[in-house]
Amino acid sequence: MHIQILTVGKLKERYLVDGIAEYVKRLGPYAKVQMIEVPDEKAPENMSPAEEQQVRGKEGERLLAKLAADVYVVALAIDGEMWTSEQLAGSLDKLATYGRSQVAFVIGGSLGLSSELLRRADMRLSFGRMTLPHQLMRLVLVEQIYRAMRINRGEPYHK
């Protein structure tokens, strides 16, 4: 399986960089994982809804440009479906079984994802109704993908 994780903005916090690198290394035997960062759009603190939409649109264009036509796109969105780790594992297994082994998880910037990107997505996945920093979401996502791979192989993982 080939998994892309597309994100907005550069990750600077060393502890997050190290944690993500550890899980990507652990995923080596299961999947090829590619982390792709696109630049975030510079924006003032107090924006109007129209300005926020414009920022999401520009970031969305950058993300969409990185997606191949045949990739299965999972948009991380607060209004998406909430799954258990087992459901994520089952979904990834089903995709691989039916020839959809190119999967891209997309994490938006601090304002979320553009409506264009959400329309391109094959599904929306939520990790809960609480807002998480998009930088932290990268670590949470890669850990859950690793957990899913272990589940699919019937291998133990600390609970």
Binding site feature residues: 76, 108, 127-132
Kindly calculate the radius of gyration of the chain based on its CA atoms and give it in whole angstroms: 15
130 touches 79 (CB < 8 A): no
Detail the residues annotated as belonging to a binding site for S-adenosyl-L-methionine.
76, 108, 127-132
Place of tokens 């990268």: 138
d(CA 100, CA 23): 22
Tell me, what amino acid is at 63?
L
Measured from the Cβ of residue 120, the count of other Cβ atoms closer than 10 Å reads 18
